[in-house]
Structure 1
Amino acid sequence: MPNRLAAATSPYLLQHAENPVDWREWGEEAFAEARTRDVPVLVSVGYAACHWCHVMAHESFEDEATAAQLNADFVCVKVDREERPDVDSVYMSATQALTGHGGWPMTVFTTPDGRPFYCGTYFPPRPAHGMPAFRQVLGAVTQAWTTRREELESAGTRIVEGISARLDLGAPMPLTAEVLDTAVAALAGGYDEEFAGFGGAPKFPPSMLLEFLLRHWARTGDPEALRMAAGTGEAMARGGIYDQLAGGFARYAVDAEWVVPHFEKMLYDNALLLRVYVHLWRATGESWARRVADETAAFLIRDLGTPEGGLASALDADTDGVEGLTYVWTPDQLVEALGEDDGRWAAEVFAVTPAGTFEHGASTLRLLRDPDEPARLASVRERLVAARAGRPQPARDDKVVTAWNGLAIAALAEHGVLTGNEASVAAARRAAVLVADVHWVDGRLRRASRDGVAGAPAGVLEDYGDLAEGLLALHQATGEGRWLELAGDLLDVVAEQFIDADGWHDTAADAEALVHRPFDPADGPTPAGVAAAGGALVTYAALAGAPRHRELGEAAVGSLARLVAQAPRAAGWAAAVGEALLAGPLEIAVSGPAGAERDALAAAARASVSPGAVVVVGDPDTPGVPLLAGRPLAQGRPAVYVCRGFVCSAPVTELSPLGGVLGPS
């Protein structure tokens, strides 16, 4: 019989709806039940595309004996970390404090009022690798709860006090050129000269750092910044972390060489990386950067697009319980799909070896060089995609998360205007319409929807910041005032709900009270909420002529200046916003009737690599577009107005002088 999760909107929770465990969703009802029964709460946190979450589910949560023990001795709560990032943040802080590491599945035992007293991640069904069996852990917790209750409750109190202490980020200060230069130098010290990227295995796509490095190069001309950005971009694009057949990046590489990925494909990674690759192409003109940008945009629209217009959260790491089953190849499989000649050629081109680079003699596909026969490569890829389509396919987590759709809206809008791909702009607009119509409820954001229905969890700071960022990019791409207006409404909520005398917070002032109010200033796989909000505030200020928003954006990233200086790998997006502030950012209005002359000026303006530059294109005094207000034609011709910090140069009508106006300050 289905348990209490059968009515959930989260695909992850629905994966557990048939478990014999009497799961409950997060909420007061679960904790009230624990108080009534006088038992501890098991909070199990994961997400739909998580490989080890599936493993623990099969081993333990589907096991009748384990379920009976759980049901007898605990109230069991299942949490989708992507739907409740606030809950995840609180208990991840506790898990890391107690164990020194974190990850998913996350297994947390709390008192009936939510105070965590014992935390872990994956537990096996039998003792292994120094880990106790999960049922042994359950028994030990139950015994301790029965015989040492006061000790556990005291531990919970101490843990909450510990995780509630805010990280001392020092006094806010401007992100000066010196701070940002120091950050680039620190990144250079950790750059992998052999395989690119930063640090060793596992190696994650450093999306926010790459954007920072590109903006730093654009402002300063520093060749080292561009070398690190382009080197990392190309290494990932040619490695196994990138799907060489259908586009899209996996979550991370398990090795330092980008060969073997953790195969889940997340919307947020691909949205952030799409933006990076289209900016890499703009900066360098490299064909591989343009190819990867185009393929990643196509992947987002084709494989993650939902019928309602949004973008789904992820494709699973597993297929039929086997990681990578859909994606890896042996030489014989290539021959079977392509014939002897093309099969052997493909094995050479994609570095598929008899020994294999993955498991059981299979290999991930890598494109270590561009072959001299592009038509043959295109034919081979097309046939391999068709052959792969006949294999079992990974499941899709089809919930639509506000923040991640905001990142995708920004990336698709920019890809569309920079490459002329109208399908990308249209996809960005569809996603924006869905989020605006479904997620924006009574003047506040909901975190996610599924099948066009908004879920109950409230939006957190990253939802407001990332969605505003996306809407501002869409406003620039379409010239529609609706998106600028909604972005302003979102940022008004940020100012009202997420900042107080103690500083910034990741949850709203009137959000559900947890055992502590979370705030994480560091980037994770997505920009930190405060950095995302700061970037959106700076961009909004440039587009709307709003000094108040610029001041708040400066304060947001200024609060992270010490983090940028001391740990730039944790503050890439704040550093990228800092580059925009130093560069102006440029405010560029291309004013005039549609036609070839205006189009040429618009293309030149958009080709500007000035960090964080905003560009709007349209008829003079277009309603809802402040940058076009009072921007008439010049001598009867379309004109470009370039402003920096609300101070404007004379309008330009020719391409040749435009380059000088758009150059670094």
Structure 2
Amino acid sequence: MPHNLLFLMTYYETSRDKRVLQMVETTLIQMYKGGLFDHVGYGFSRYSTDKYFLVPHFEKMLYDNALLMMSYVQAFGLTNKTIYRDIAKKTAQYIMREMTSPEGGFYCAQDADSEGVEGKYYVFDYDEIIKILGEERGKSFNSYYGITPKGNFEGRNIPNLLGNTNLEDRFQQDIPQLYEYRKSRTRLHLDDKILTSWNALMIAAFTMMYQVFDEEQYLVAAQKAEGFITEKMQDNNTLFVSYRDGIHSSKGFLDDYAFYIFALLELYGATLDCHYLNKAVNICQKTVEDFYDMENGGFYLYGEENQKLIITPKETYDGAIPSGNSVMAYNLVKISQITGDSGFQEKAKRQLEFMSYSAKDYPAGFSFFLMALWMHMNPLENITCVLADKDDLKKLRGKVKLNTTVRILEGETDEYSLINGKTTFYVCKNHSCLPPTNNLLEVLEQ
């Protein structure tokens, strides 16, 4: 569950406990080296069936790949190790190539089975590789990826790097040939439903990749998918669960709203386009109105627009994906930090209290909530930008590090004024602020 790793990295950012980062890196590297990662077509399968990450359940899910992309991006941001950047980019390549609709939405999943056999699409014989790549190159490839005549999975082979300490991508020129061969050999079934909640996670992942790697293609993918949700899966501020063949399904549940707000906040953080922030605030207000338990705290799974049931549950535990309540805790903290709105500050405080009560007996099962709580207790830098010229905003986009809170003011206020008549930056942390400055580079260094 990648949100465990995301919490540990959030914790490490302020604690600088090296043991925590070592835990994260060990897991991230082992997952990549094993068969859990598809070394020919890229992307991650759903989970491993053994402790080495060799044999996966071969189904690939959109949400897993989104959360793992976030994890590898954040690991690169903390360590500057190119291996994490490369893994994130390979996974993104898989999503854009195989899991993206022509209109920009992201599909749900690819099945584990081909022709009724689990994993048949992914495995190779030793001699099969040699036949494709030739004797010398094929033997070298087999040695590097742990492919043997005996096999490592039901007499055949799952390519993996578990026997290697040197991860150099030595055979990248051969991968496209094997990928095309594998596609011609058999086919996978694609679940082409487009889910709002899972799409939102992938939008957030691509947005983070843009912010850290500064590559426009990732922002384009994120914005196109967000536009798809706006056009096909949304009516004013009402969201729908899924879309397929031109038809959207029932009205959305808490996860749809929570994850979409999360994605919008990430888009705002990367682009500083207040359109995304305003939209996130509006949908957050609707989520509070429709799903929030005013009396006892917390958010119901079903809202005012959903079918009425005898029992209205509140899901708080983080499973394969974070719970809607955990993500709403994060959203409320983030919005309150960006806007300084006292109403959102109070809502964030109440949600944190509610979730703390739920998490106290087993906090490890509430890692995404712990991210929100840690962010509330240890806020990162807060930059307030007072614009003298709206075009100055372009100079700031893509320059601010991940998770930094940026507030954009389009003119002076009683609290924030322009210095020298130029765009002015106020940098604050832990309730103390540095002197205002017109120098963006100085702000980023501080």
TM-score by structure 2 length? 0.90
Name the residue aligned to 1:461: 254
Q: Secondary structure at the match of 1:244?
A: coil
Q: 1:602 to 1:511 in 2, by over 3 A?
A: closer
Q: 1:499 to 1:357 in 2, by over 3 A?
A: same
Q: 1:418 to 1:635 in 2, by over 3 A?
A: farther
Q: Deviations over 1:422-471 (max 9, x none)?
A: 1110111011111112222253211111134321x221111111000001
Q: Secondary structure at the match of 2:427?
A: strand
User: Matched residues in 2 for 1:535 and 1:430: separation?
Assistant: 24
User: Matched residues in 1 for 2:243 and 2:87: separation?
Assistant: 29
Q: Deviations over 1:82-111 (max 9, x none)?
A: xxxxxxxxxxxxxxxxxxxxxxxxxxxxxx
User: Matched residues in 1 for 2:219 and 2:163: separation?
Assistant: 31
Q: Is the 8 A contact 1:244 1:367 kept in 2?
A: no
Q: Is the 8 A contact 2:427 2:443 kept in 1?
A: no
1:403 corresponds to 2:197:
yes
Name the residue aligned to 1:614: 405
Alignment match of 2:267 (pick from 465, 474, 486): 474
Q: 1:596 to 1:499 in 2, by over 3 A?
A: closer
Structure 1 residue 222, shift from structure 2 partner: 1.1
Q: Secondary structure at the match of 2:374?
A: helix
Q: 1:491 to 1:654 in 2, by over 3 A?
A: closer
Q: Is the 8 A contact 1:330 1:363 kept in 2?
A: no
Structure 1 residue 405, shift from structure 2 partner: 1.0
Residues 213-252 of structure 1 mapped to structure 2, 5 A cutoff? 213-252=8-47
Name the residue aligned to 1:507: 302
User: Matched residues in 2 for 1:306 and 1:628: separation?
Assistant: 45
Q: Is the 8 A contact 1:208 1:573 kept in 2?
A: yes
Structure 1 residue 520, shift from structure 2 partner: 1.9
Name the residue aligned to 1:415: 209
Q: 1:458 to 1:337 in 2, by over 3 A?
A: same
Name the residue aligned to 1:72: none
Q: Deviations over 1:43-102 (max 9, x none)?
A: xxxxxxxxxxxxxxxxxxxxxxxxxxxxxxxxxxxxxxxxxxxxxxxxxxxxxxxxxxxx
User: Matched residues in 1 for 2:235 and 2:30: separation?
Assistant: 43
Q: Secondary structure at the match of 1:512?
A: coil
1:548 corresponds to 2:347:
no
Q: Secondary structure at the match of 2:171?
A: helix
1:317 corresponds to 2:123:
no
1:492 corresponds to 2:285:
yes
Name the residue aligned to 1:643: 428
Q: Is the 8 A contact 2:390 2:410 kept in 1?
A: no
Residues 214-613 of structure 1 mapped to structure 2, 5 A cutoff? 214-366=9-161, 368-369=163-164, 371=166, 374=169, 376-455=170-249, 457-500=250-293, 501-504=295-298, 505-589=300-384, 599=395, 605-606=400-401, 612-613=403-404
Q: Is the 8 A contact 1:621 1:628 kept in 2?
A: no
Structure 1 residue 212, shift from structure 2 partner: 0.5
Q: Secondary structure at the match of 2:226?
A: helix
User: Matched residues in 2 for 1:460 and 1:393: separation?
Assistant: 33
Higher CA-based Rg: 1
Matching residue's letter, 1:394 = L
Q: 1:219 to 1:398 in 2, by over 3 A?
A: same
Q: Is the 8 A contact 2:383 2:425 kept in 1?
A: yes
Q: 1:373 to 1:488 in 2, by over 3 A?
A: closer
Q: 1:499 to 1:571 in 2, by over 3 A?
A: same
Structure 1 residue 419, shift from structure 2 partner: 0.2
TM-score by structure 1 length? 0.62
Q: Is the 8 A contact 1:308 1:451 kept in 2?
A: no
Q: Is the 8 A contact 2:200 2:260 kept in 1?
A: yes
Q: Is the 8 A contact 2:33 2:161 kept in 1?
A: yes
Structure 1 residue 274, shift from structure 2 partner: 0.7
User: Matched residues in 2 for 1:430 and 1:648: separation?
Assistant: 37
User: Matched residues in 2 for 1:216 and 1:547: separation?
Assistant: 26
Q: 1:387 to 1:485 in 2, by over 3 A?
A: same
* Identity among equivalent pairs (%): 28
User: Matched residues in 1 for 2:381 and 2:66: separation?
Assistant: 24
Q: Is the 8 A contact 2:76 2:85 kept in 1?
A: yes
Matching residue's letter, 2:221 = A
Q: Is the 8 A contact 1:542 1:585 kept in 2?
A: no
Q: 1:518 to 1:489 in 2, by over 3 A?
A: same
Structure 1 residue 226, shift from structure 2 partner: 1.0
Matching residue's letter, 2:410 = D
User: Matched residues in 2 for 1:615 and 1:554: separation?
Assistant: 21
**Structure 1 unpaired stretches of 5+:** 1-205, 661-665
User: Matched residues in 2 for 1:337 and 1:535: separation?
Assistant: 49
User: Matched residues in 2 for 1:372 and 1:449: separation?
Assistant: 40
Q: Secondary structure at the match of 2:187?
A: coil
User: Matched residues in 2 for 1:392 and 1:628: separation?
Assistant: 64
Matching residue's letter, 2:228 = L
User: Matched residues in 2 for 1:536 and 1:352: separation?
Assistant: 46
User: Matched residues in 2 for 1:486 and 1:227: separation?
Assistant: 38
Matching residue's letter, 2:313 = P
Structure 1 residue 296, shift from structure 2 partner: 1.4
Q: Secondary structure at the match of 2:149?
A: coil
Greater mean alpha carbon deviation, residues 511-520 or residues 342-351:
511-520
Q: Deviations over 1:208-254 (max 9, x none)?
A: 11010001000111112111111111111111111112321111001
Q: Secondary structure at the match of 2:428?
A: strand
Matching residue's letter, 1:560 = M
**Structure 2 unpaired stretches of 5+:** none
User: Matched residues in 2 for 1:271 and 1:431: separation?
Assistant: 13
